[in-house]
Structures are given as structure tokens and as C-alpha cells.
Amino acid sequence: MPETHTVHLQRILRAPPERVYRAFLEAGALCKWLPPHGFTCTVHELDARVGGRFRMSFTNFGSGNSHSFHGEYLELVPSSLIRHTDQFEDPNLPGVLTVTIRLRQVFCGTELEVVQEGIPAVIPKEACLMGWQESLLLLAQLVEPDIPG
């Protein structure tokens, strides 16, 4: 079994890159879409600048169990690129993950590519992909509506 996993995701969203970019960097937006089904999110800290840090917790709504993670923003190119680290605070999930989010304007909105590297082997790759797929559905529901006012 490998020591870490890498997942790659791609999605087309019917929203401009600026809106998608903001959804990755605003605490209220992250709480709305990032936790997969069955989880809530608390953002404890978010300083969206290169060198800035974030800290969040996901809580299983059914059991009440939570896990926290934190990271640092490595690269931020408005409406185009977000690269950050992720590190679980649980000692059973060691290592530092790197997450790269690329946004590219396409004729119908934004092409989103996510690469998450360094996922601890104790987390099944399929579970990680399923969580991301659920989160990206919620992201689309947040960013795609064009609500006046």
C-alpha cells in the first residue's frame, strides 16, 4: 500500500472564475460547500494571503465527532490559482498535503481542476474522491445561481 494518495478532479461550473475563486477563500462560503454530506464546518482562522494560514474543523452531524486541520496559502493568483497546504491535527493522520486549485475561464463558465497530494494512506482514495465529489456539487449550488441584488 502506498504511503500517500493523490486525487485529481475536474469540473465545469456555470459561474465566472472570480466567483469560484471567492468561494475557496471566504469563511462563510467554505462552510456552505466544503464539508461533504453529513458534516458541518467551523472556520477558526482564515487569512487568505500568501503566507497566511487557515484552520477549520469538520464535524460529523450524526456522531458529533470532529477532526481539525490547518494549512498555509502558498500561491494565490486571483481568479486563476490557489495552492495551499493541509495538515490534519490528528497524529494518526501524519504528513502535509498540498492542494492545487486551477481555474480557467471557458465559454460557459469556469473549468475547475483540483489536485490533492500527500493524502495519508489510512484514508482510502475512494473516500477522498467521494467527499470531493459531494463538496463540488455543493460548490456548484453556491456559485452557479445568478441572483439579482
Res 30: pLDDT: 98
Its domain, for residue 18, covers 4-37+76-143
What CATH number is associated with residue 135? 3.30.530.20
Domain total for the chain? 1
Helix axes 17-25, 125-143, angle to 10 degrees: 120
3-class secondary structure, 139: helix
| 111 within a domain of the structure (yes/no) | yes
What's the chain's average pLDDT? 96
Note the pLDDT tens digit of each residue in 8-51: 999 999 999 999 999 999 999 999 999 999 999 999 999 999 99
| 50 within a domain of the structure (yes/no) | no
In whole angstroms, give the CA distance from residue 20 to residue 27. 13
Res 149: pLDDT: 86
In whole angstroms, give the CA distance from residue 125 to residue 132. 11
CA count, 13 A, side-chain hemisphere, 30: 17
Note the pLDDT tens digit of each residue in 57-94: 999 999 999 999 999 999 999 999 999 999 999 999 98
